[in-house]
Structure 1
Amino acid sequence: MAERSSPDGSRGNVTWHRALGPDELPEGRVKPVTCGDTTVAMTHQDGEYGALDNRCPHQGGPLGEGSIETGLLRCPWHGWDFDPLTGETPGSHDDCVETFPVEVREDGIYVGFPDEEPHERTVSDVIAETLVNWGVRQVWGIVGHSNLGLADALRREAAGGNLAYYGVRHEGAAAFAASAYGKLTGRPAACFSIAGPGATNMLTGLWDANVDRSPTIALTGQVESQVLGTGNFQEVDLEAAYGDVAEFEATVLPDSDHAELATRAAKTAILERGVSHLVFPDEIQTQSAEGVDPGDPEGRITDREITPPESALKDAVELLETAERPVIVVGHGARFEMDGIVDLAERFDCPVLTTFKAKGQIPDSHPLAGGVLGRSGTPIASHFMNEADLLAVFGASFSNHTGIAEYKPTIHVDYDAMTLGKFHGIDVPVWGEIGVTVDELEERLGDDLAAENQREELADRWEIWREEKATRREQTPERGVNYATAFEAMTRLVPDDAIIPVDVGNNTYAFGRYFEPEHQSVLMSGYLGSIGFAFPAALGAWAATQEPESEFAGRKVVSVSSDGGFGQYMSEFTTAVKYDMDVTHVLLNDDELGKISKEQRTGGWDVWQTDLVNPEFAAFAENCGGLGLFVDDPADLNDALEKAIAHDGPALVEILTDADPV
């Protein structure tokens, strides 16, 4: 046995760790002990101590969880025996277990470990580095047994400051967080899971990203490639499971061009504004990739500022110049081009209406703002839609929830040619990037426009609506605080540049109607309409605020949901506490699935199975280590919201309300 050379236990190429106290391990027992980064099976047999590799060479069983029987250490998984001191197997077999030197000292039992060799680059390193080169800065997920090699590569990138990793409580939250980040920033983030159930848990959030055109990358572990197709434990055909949700997917194989696969995944997510999926069989994650360079976007991505066809621009200009009551409608796809669109509206003195997904892209205080159109909208928007003689629609997809009139002369501008005329014929479909198209229209428009000034009419309509909202606030709810009062308070108190993820249900319809945005960014599960979106989305939004060079740096995140929505992912409040996320969640608690109850009543059904049994959510937030505040009296609402928003860390305001959002 080697001799110690220094008080700290290091000598030559071996480092010593104290593994056990002097009398910690009884005779005839085995115990797993972690020393630094290595776990060993510590044994005590015939008055001597042994230290064996904890991993059985057959199936990887944890030897430290086995037992010593008739003088032999028995693996707990399949019963193979090993000498507890030498690691040898009985008989002529040569599948022995590695052992480590042991010293008995006065203060305990020490084990010597060889100094670590320099890290050998792996397939996972190449892929992680490639994704970082393509701008992936945020990853949410759960580390598990079939993704450990990839997890270690992500750990190295996080340790180097190249990305941030957040361990969540449910993989569905990881996918929603990544989707929300993409919706907010237009840049891809990643979600991460094990094989089987971990991967399938992410599908709902990934479908949200798919239908809302959010760039998102899914990284899933998989069983070892040699047992694929045999029905192995946690084996799911992930390419089949993800086949419809992913624009690009591939299984990482031993001879793959690994940097190219990661490049394709990132490039597709960015250009197609959708989901990419990479599947990592367990053993390939740690396959050597020494000397392999990562990929990067240089020369691999083109300028996307597509100029529309000249004929489409000519027809659009002709309609715009002759319209007397034009209205501009903007969708979420126009969110990065609002300055030019507002300038265009000011040329015509015409209203700018938004889809619900685009709420907040123009402040309601702007003299040309007409509010939200559709089922979650305002009577102002409906009025101007009805009175319009031309609709100029930018980045919207004509959802039936939005209610853009099909019978009005329409110009539709979108970067996606398939979206143009998706549901019905359009008078002038214009294929091009929205910002480029708006600039081209501005240059071609003459000074002699037929449009009448609609500013005064807009102001009158806002005055009528605000007076009606005031009367609704005065109505006494069945209990607690009514929705109009709650969102009036939020309008006053939520910072003008906050990011506001919202959920689905009555609370969200009321938000669309009553909250008056300034420069806030609103995030929602638009086309999928998934309950539970809001709080995981808040985690994704908060991550964007932590990027120093981001336009979202330092902005407050204030999410909104009902009790039904928050209940689906309430465990993620502990994630917010773990990473000290400055997120305020406003929870409107009606103790039921209120929107479904309403649909049952109005549809002639009996109200059935929509009631909920809830915890005290404010107390739950406190129990998790955050700030929790409960409000059941309108007089206490302002103070609670102010305190929660000012709190530096996770906070939850539970507002007791009834199920009627009117």
Structure 2
Amino acid sequence: MTDDTLDWISVGHVDDLPEGRVKTVTARTTSICLVHFDGQWTAMDNHCPHQRGPLGEGSIEKGVEGKCWLRCPWHGWDFDPLTGAPPGGHEDTGQKLFPLDIRDGEIFVGLEPEPPHTRTTTDVMVETMANWGVQSVFGMVGHSNLGLSDAIRRSVVDGRLRYYGIRHEGVAGFAASAYGKLTGEPAACLTIAGPGATNLLTGMWDAKVDRAPVLALTGQVQTQVFGPGAFQDIDLGSAFAAVSAFSQPVLSSSNHAELMSLACKTALVEQNVAHLVFPDDAQTLPSSQEAARPKGRMGRTDVTPAAADIDAAVDMLNGARRPVVIVGHGAYGARDAIIALAEKIGAPVLTTFKAKGLVPDSHPLGGGVLGRSGTPIASWFMNEADVILVLGASFSNHTGIASHEKIIQVDYDRMQLGKFHPVDLPIWGEIGAFCNAASARIARNPNAVDQEAEMAERWAIWRREKHRRLAEEAGRGIHSFAIFDLLGQLVPDDTIFAVDVGNNTYSFGRYLETKGTQRVLMSGYLGSIGYGFPAAIGAWAATQDKAALKGRKVVSISGDGGFGQYPMDFTTAVKYGMNITHVLLHNGELGKISKEQRSGEWPVWETDLVNPSFAAFARLCGGQGHKVTDSADLEAALREALGATGPALVEIMTDAELV
């Protein structure tokens, strides 16, 4: 090929490389060893033929006969620095040389015009994934997922996907889990083999136990070295078996479009983790297969309960003088239908902690959270009820739904019905369908108590009590009530909260009064510390993907122990301009554990923490950082952080005893 038909690509300047040195440069995607030796310049293939070691990271050294050789840094193979020829004995052809030209001190390498991209197995699978509605991928590019990563890159360039490169795979797992909880649709998370995949597991368990759809894509070593103990080779099928509803390897003989379709369908239908293992050599195989689409693969989800069950529920509710509705996370999709039913019979609506905000505290029948993280309002109404309608809740011991009351339980998952103890009327069906069918026939009992008036009274009592608690401040930090009372007033009505684990979480559940259509994301059943800020990353990504979430503010909350788990991913938020406000309650200890040690009559041991200034850290990362030590400065700091266009952190010095 003549010089005028080549693509001449700049790879640097002559001043970049001293005499007698080599370096790695890249022209397009071709890795080249650039050599400056004996006053001459050479560009050769950068990969040693032994194990593809990078010659550009090697050195030019004198051999035993005084001749100089370019030595591979991995295993010492030698090549003539100007011709690429070996000394003999292991290769006959030597290294490929590329045309090189120097123009006004700038170095150009000539490459043949780039051939058209050859469609690969992972191109097919990524396109299929996008066709099924996956819009965001959280992950880390690495040596055992490069073929898959390039297929994802192509879809990002084409506008079919968004990609967020995280700093720790645990963040990718939590972000994808939070995305699934918020939207009911899967995001994907990408890792390498070995430690990258194992780092993902905690987030996958969070998704599994909280019923969030997630697609896990893990790289793997080449199929020919499975098992013998190759570098980073672990049995990923076994590692993910317990945490996933679907886990399959991607092989050369697989039906690649169908395999991805089954993974996506499993995640959606089962609301669970679907996992695919991509061996390195299976990622770039040529493929002429078309990407699959979901049309004709999914049915409607409206399941109306049996008529006899609706009849029985209507009879019980019509006869109730003090009906109460308790809603869990599984009822989110039926919010409007639930409110309509509750208003028709004047029933207070209490929520589990995971469903906080489903019916806002600002609603005349909203009674707040029930259970350990809840309000005395909710527990009072539950204890006074004569019929309890439980919608999409699991009866966890954290919530403490009274088992001795008359209970109607409705759930789409039949295994949840009467799971821990018998209920008076277990009903299988979709919650919205039940509410719509029952609402048409129920009527308020003429002898019913005016519980709406009682609700107003109970809120007044609780608000007076909360304000009295401010007197407990003793100069050791700001009271949690002051923080969450003010935050609740300042945030928009459609805020998405991502909360961590610890005393900060209990205080949030107890003190922050929800309004509008606010949502709360948490690590519910797994209860994993460190969840809050990664979950906010996932929630923010969802606000970019989903029209119904566009423009919604994301606020994350943690203690210093929780934020310290994954602090470097604050730089991820900076990199992608994520509009996240993080509220950090800094008390210098794992306060919840200290409290548990005292409660169990143990000495408090090893719960103290040594921390930096988190506000200064946020600023060093390129975001906003505000530190608050006095309640008088709290409002200004929160207002400024909430108004930021990128990530902002408010570090509030708190008293671990005031929760």
Please classify the TM superposition score into its range, dividing by the shorter chain length: over 0.9
* Aligned partner of 1:31 among 8, 14, 23: 23
User: Whole-Å Cα distance in 2 between the matches of residues 157 and 610 of structure 1?
Assistant: 46
Equivalent positions of 1:428-447 (< 5 A) are: 428-445=425-442
- Asked if 1:119 corresponds to 2:117, the answer is yes
One-letter amino acid of the structure 2 residue matched with residue 336 of structure 1: G
Amino acid at match of 1:287: L
Aligned equivalents of 2:443, 2:519: Cα separation in 1: 34
Return the letter of the residue paired with 2:571: T
Distance 2:282 2:526 in 1: 34
C-alpha distance in 2 between matches for 1:143 and 1:62: 19
Deviation at 1:654, TM superposition (A): 0.7
1:54 pairs with 33, 42, 46, which one?
A: 46
Given candidates 625, 634, 638, the residue that maps to 1:637 is 634
Deviations 1:562-594 (A, max 9, x none): 111011111111111111111101111110000
Cα distance per residue 1:87-106 (max 9 Å; x no partner): 34424734643321122444
For residues 595-624 of structure 1, give each alpha carbon's deviation from its aligned partner in whole angstroms, at most 9, with x where no partner exists: 100111111000000000010111111111
One-letter code aligned to 2:515: E
Secondary structure of 1:614's match?
A: coil
Match of 1:259 in 2: 257
CA contact (8 A) 2:179 2:535 kept: yes
Structure 1 residue matching 2:243: 3-state secondary structure: coil
Q: For residues 309 and 60 of structure 1, do their structure 2 counterparts lie closer, same or farther at Cα, with a shift above 3 Å needed? A: farther
TM-score, structure 1 length as denominator?
0.96
Distance 1:116 1:605 in 2: 69
1:360 is matched with 357
Instruction: Output the CA distance in 2 between the equivalents of 1:358 and 1:446.
Output: 26
- Partners in 2 of 1:140 and 1:104 — Cα distance? 42
Give the distance between the partners of 2:326 and 2:458, measured in 1 at CA: 17
Contact conserved, 2:320 with 2:445, CA < 8 A, in 1? no
In structure 1, the residue matched to 2:243 is 245
Aligned to 2:521: 523
Structure 1: unaligned runs, 5 residues or longer: 4-10
> Does residue 1:107 correspond to 2:99, yes or no?
no
Instruction: Provide closer, same or farther for how the CA distance between residues 26 and 489 of structure 1 changes in structure 2, counting only shifts above 3 A.
Output: closer
Q: Which residue of 2 aligns with 1:7?
A: none
**Residue 325 (structure 1) aligns with:** 322
Following superposition, the deviation at residue 48 of structure 1 comes to: 3.4
Tell me, what secondary structure is at the counterpart of 1:558? strand
**For this pair of structures, how many residues does the alignment match?**
652
Q: Please point out which of 14, 20, 44 is paired with 1:22.
A: 14
Q: Match for 2:420: what amino acid? A: F
SS in 1 for 2:26: strand
Distance 1:497 1:20, change over 3 A: closer
Distance 2:476 2:384 in 1: 39
How far 1:347 moved relative to its partner?
1.4
Tell me, yes or no, if structure 1 residue 283 matches structure 2 residue 281: yes
Q: Which amino acid letter does the alignment assign opposite residue 251 of structure 2?
A: L
2:226 counterpart of 1:235: no
| Closer, same or farther: CA 237–450 of 1 in aligned 2, 3 Å | farther
Tell me by how many angstroms 1:287 deviates.
Answer: 1.0
In 2, distance between residues paired with 1:604 and 1:478? 27
Please give the alpha-carbon distance, in whole angstroms, between the structure 2 residues aligned to 1:640 and 1:28: 57
Q: Distance in 2 between matches of 1:85 and 1:485?
A: 72
Partner SS state of residue 126, structure 2: helix
Q: Structure 1 residues 2, 355: CA separation in 2 closer, same or farther (over 3 Å shift)? A: same
Instruction: Rate the CA distance shift 1:79–1:387 in 2: closer, same or farther, 3 A.
Output: same
Secondary structure of 2:9's counterpart equals strand
RMSD value, Cα? 1.6
Q: Which amino acid aligns with 2:264?
A: A
Partner of 1:138: 136
Superposition deviation, residue 421 in structure 1: 1.5
CA distance in 1, matches of 2:588, 2:106: 57
TM-score when normalising by structure 2:
0.96
3-state SS of the aligned residue for 1:293? coil
What is the CA-CA distance between 1:161 and the residue it aligns to? 1.1
| Aligned amino acid, residue 583 of structure 2 | V
- Residue 176 of structure 1 is matched in structure 2 by 174
* CA-to-aligned-CA distance 1:144-180 (integer Å, 9 cap, x gap): 1111111111111111111110111100001101111
Change (3 A) 1:47 1:636: closer
Asked if residue 223 in structure 1 is aligned to residue 241 in structure 2, the reply is no
Residues 249, 134 of structure 1: alpha-carbon distance in 2 compared, 3 angstrom cutoff: same
* Structure 2 letter corresponding to 1:346: E
What is the distance in 1 between the residues matched to 2:196 and 2:215?
Answer: 15
Q: Is 1:592 equivalent to 2:589 in the alignment?
A: yes
1-side partners of 2:640 and 2:11: how far apart?
A: 48
Q: Identify the residue that residue 273 of structure 1 maps to in structure 2.
A: 271
Counterpart residue number, 1:303: 300
**1:348–1:449: 8 Å Cα contact kept in structure 2?**
no
- 1:176-225, Cα deviation, whole Å (9 max, x unpaired): 01111111111110111111001100111111000000111111110111
Residues 1:457 and 1:65: Cα distance change in structure 2 (over 3 Å) = same
- Pairing 1:72–2:64 present: no
Q: Which amino acid aligns with 1:579?
A: Y
Match status 1:314 vs 2:311: yes
1:405-430 CA-to-partner distances (Å, cap 9, x unmatched) read 11111111111111112211122111
Q: Is the 8 A contact 1:348 1:453 kept in 2?
A: no
Looking at structure 2, the residues matched to 195 and 449 of structure 1 have their Cα atoms a distance apart, in angstroms, of: 65
Which amino acid counterpart does residue 59 of structure 2 have in structure 1? S
Instruction: Indicate the residue corresponding to 1:186 in structure 2.
Output: 184
SS at match of 1:644: helix
Whole-angstrom CA distance in 1 between matches of 2:448 and 2:85: 91
8 Å contact kept, 2:59–2:71: yes
**Post-superposition shift, 1:661?**
3.5
- The change in CA–CA distance for 1:43 and 1:431 in structure 2 (over 3 A counts) is same
Q: Which moved more, 1:344-353 or 1:313-322?
A: 313-322
TM-aligned CA deviation for residue 447 of structure 1: 6.7
Give secondary structure in 1 for the equivalent of 2:459.
helix
Q: Aligned AA for 2:40?
A: E
Query: Is the contact between residue 346 and residue 444 of structure 2 (CA under 8 Å) also seen in structure 1?
Result: no
Structure 2: any 5+ residue segments left out of the alignment? none
Q: Secondary structure at the match of 2:437?
A: helix
**Aligned residue among 302, 327, 340 for 1:343:** 340
Report the counterpart of residue 497 of structure 1 in structure 2. 494
Shift in Å, 1:36 = 3.2
Q: Please, which of 96, 99, 102 is the counterpart of residue 98 of structure 1?
A: 96
In structure 2, C-alpha distance between the alignment counterparts of 1:298 and 1:24, rounded to whole Å: 55
Correspondent of 1:156 among 154, 166, 170: 154
- Counterparts in 2 of 1:92 and 1:36: CA distance versus 1, 3 Å: closer
- Cα contact 1:348–1:452 (8 A) shared by 2: no
Task: State yes or no: 1:412 paired with 2:409.
Answer: yes
SS at match of 2:301: coil
Contact 1:321–1:449 under 8 Å retained in 2: no
Matched AA of 2:203: G
- Give 1:45 deviation, angstroms: 4.2
Alpha-carbon distance between aligned partners in 1 of 2:355 and 2:255, rounded to the nearest angstrom: 40
Secondary structure of 1:535's aligned partner:
helix
Deviation at 1:315, TM superposition (A): 2.2
Asked if residue 623 in structure 1 is aligned to residue 620 in structure 2, the reply is: yes
Letter in 2 for 1:269: A
- Check if 1:63 corresponds to 2:59: no
- Give aligned-pair identity as a percent: 59
* Contact 1:57–1:95 (8 Å) recurs in 2: no
Asked if the contact 2:501–2:529 (Cα under 8 Å) also holds between the matched residues in 1, the reply is yes
Letter in 1 for 2:21: R
Secondary structure in structure 2 of the residue aligned to 1:418: helix
Task: Sort the Cα spacing of 1:600 and 1:23 in 2 relative to 1 into closer, same or farther, 3 A.
Answer: closer
CA distance in 2, matches of 1:25, 1:488: 61
1:196 to 190, 194, 197: 194
**What SS class does the counterpart of residue 571 from structure 1 fall into?**
helix
